[in-house]
Amino acid sequence: METVPKLGNNVPPKKDKLQGKKKKPWERRSPGPQRSLSGAQDPFAGPAPVPVAVVQKFCRIDKSKKLPRSETKIRSRLEAAEAQEEEISVKAARSELLLAEEPGFLEGENGEDTAKICQADIVEAVDIASAAKHFDLNLRQFGPYRLNYSRTGRHLAFGGRRGHVAALDWVTKKLMCEINVMEAVRDIRFLHSEALLAVAQNRWLHIYDNQGIELHCIRRCDRITRLEFLPFHFLLATASETGFLTYLDVSVGKIVAALNARAGRLNIMTQNPYNAVIHLGHSNGTVSLWSPAMKEPLAKILCHRGAVRAVAVDSTGTHMATSGLDHQLKIFDLRGTFQPLSARTLPQGAGHLAFSQRGLLAAGTGDVVNIWAGQGKASPPSLEQPYLTHRLSGHVHGLQFCPFEDVLGVGHSGGITSMLAPGAAEPNFDGLESNPYRSRKQRQEWEVKALLEKVPAELICLDPRALAEVDVISLEQEKKERLERLGYDPGTKPPFQPKPKQKGRSSTASLVKRKRKVMDEEHRDKVRQSLEQQPQKQEKAKPMGARPSALDRFVR
């Protein structure tokens, strides 16, 4: 073997520390080295400096918006908030130190195409533990498989078209349950933990536990084609053949919303992990975005000339990949514009798409899986060159990247394949949130906490940050009502009322005169202010327009 792909945790180049103009307090070291009693000097006096870029990552106050002029009292509040934010983000940046693991990667030797590196090479190069993560389950009997990893990435559930349902701890290969439901299985999904399993069967939705015991049969959700679980809302979203998108709250067992998509059979569904919006693909080339709080889609995006075949959204919620019957694979920007960033034609079109935690995009076309990689975590995958390709023994039917493991699970007609995709997953996990190594007790503890922190379903909207904004319409309405109620606006200055004066000086004429004086003064102030503002406006306006060139005079 000539090429030995490098795989592992090489130390990436250190982040360069940005030198801002203004030194932040956490950057500043104490001016002179402190003299200690012994006379020895601390070579690293003061707190350790934190790189600006890392701190920026945690800053959330949007300073781009310009605030109206504020009084000192408000300003002090704002300053306090900003100082607090900075302090917090510095603390968070310092704690980045604890994220010891680094993402893996695959590098071809001097410009070698990484797509040429096959799984066998990778398996050969990596350590035994990682090599064990590549395996094939040969299950030809029960036909194309759908699969799902649990949120911790430890467990795998898969269901074959012909009724074969199994769940296992795929790392240790310990089987939890294996049953045949004697009915077509359309989709399978873990609920909030690996103990519960939702299976979309031919007629109804069934829920099993990890022993394979049927717990519920939900008849209100019938003819389900796709399942999606929103972990923070405890909602199981189901898309049915009848064209309904149903949200089932699994914590209370109630159907939160049943929305009619009015677009025929629904069989393409994915969730946006950033804002828990459900994306549905339709046969008229559109992708619609849904929230249980709204009867109509939040947005409809025309993506393809033909029907949409697959949709996937990356973990940051910035990019959406779609593939259609027109054999196109497109990546859309989801941050407000919904415009395609890049597109390419695939020989047969991708039937299945999946994003990994770090932004790798996998596409299943026929019996081939292609993986594209971007520059970093939040960058869209560049579709020019595939990062990895792999040929399977059957046609792809389900795709999912395993969380926290560099593994891509592929369900196909020949069974299940777990292939290695270096750099796919987030290397560090949050032990309190999704701990792959948690015990039963810890899982129960987490379950309670998660239930306490359950997000109400109606909070799902396109921009979750908008919830932290004041409801301006209600505010205005309330203001108006108060004005109506009181007869005056308590916020504004009352109109000037001249005081009565003695000795005949309080005649109507003089009162009017005095009033007029005050009015004029106010008016003058206003004019003065506007005059002051005008030149600023003009200055602003100037650069906007096309600058007249000195050469214009020669234009005939």
Please identify, among the stretches 151-159, 170-178, 459-467, 532-540, the one whose residues bind other proteins according to the rule CB under 8 A.
459-467
- Residue closer to other proteins (CB basis): 13 or 347: 347
Q: Is 127 in the site for other proteins (CB under 8 A)?
A: no
Task: Give the residue, chosen from 11, 452, 470, 544, that forms a contact with other proteins under the rule CB under 8 A.
Answer: 470
- Of 90, 75, 96, whose CA–CA distance to 24 is shortest? 90
Stretch of 16-24, 32-40, 131-139, 233-241 lying at the interface with other proteins (CB under 8 A)? 32-40
Which of 178, 433, 445, 481 touches other proteins (CB under 8 A)? 433
Exposure string for 532-544, b = 16+ CB within 10 A, e = fewer: eeeeeeeeeeeee
Nearer to other proteins, 132 or 294 (CB): 294
Q: Contact with other proteins (CB under 8 A): which of 368, 407, 420, 425?
A: 368
Residue at 370: amino acid letter: N
Residues between 102 and 121 that touch other proteins (CB under 8 A) = 113, 115-116
Shortest distance, CB of residue 295 to other proteins, whole angstroms?
9
**Per-residue x/- marks for other proteins, 77-96, CB under 8 A?**
xx--x--xx-xx--xx-xx-
Phi and psi, residue 94, nearest 5°: -65, -35
What CA–CA distances, in Å, run from 425 to 61, 152, 155, 488?
Answer: 29, 12, 15, 60
The residue among 76 and 444 lying less far from other proteins, judged by its C-beta, is: 76
Torsions phi, psi for 82 (to 5 deg): -65, -40
Residue 166: what are its φ and ψ, rounded to 5°? -145, 150
Q: Which stretch binds other proteins (CB under 8 A): 172-180, 354-362, 436-444, 463-471?
A: 463-471
Q: How far apart (Å, rounded) are the C-alpha atoms in residues 537 and 369? A: 57
Q: Does residue 480 interact with other proteins by CB under 8 A? A: no
Q: Which is nearer to other proteins, 36 or 172 (CB)?
A: 36
Closer of 3 and 389 to other proteins (Cβ):
389
Indicate whether 60 belongs to the interface with other proteins (CB under 8 A).
yes
Q: What are the φ and ψ backbone dihedral angles of 25, each rounded to 5 degrees?
A: -60, -35
Indicate the length of the chain as a whole number.
Answer: 556
Structure tokens at 382: 């560049």
- Token pair 């606006």 is found at 489
- Quote the least distance from Cβ 98 to other proteins, whole Å: 9
Among 385, 442, 497, 506, contact with other proteins (rule: CB under 8 A): 385
The answer to whether 461 and 298 have CB atoms below 8 angstroms apart is yes
Report which secondary-structure segment, H or E, holds 156: strand 155-160
| Nearest distance, CB of residue 435 and other proteins, angstroms | 14
Q: Which of residues 279-318 bind other proteins (CB under 8 A)?
A: 284-286, 291, 293-294, 296-306
Query: What end-to-end distance do the CA atoms of the chain give, in Å?
Result: 70
Stretch that binds other proteins, among 125-133, 194-202, 239-247, 326-334 (CB under 8 A): 326-334
3-state secondary structure of 75: helix
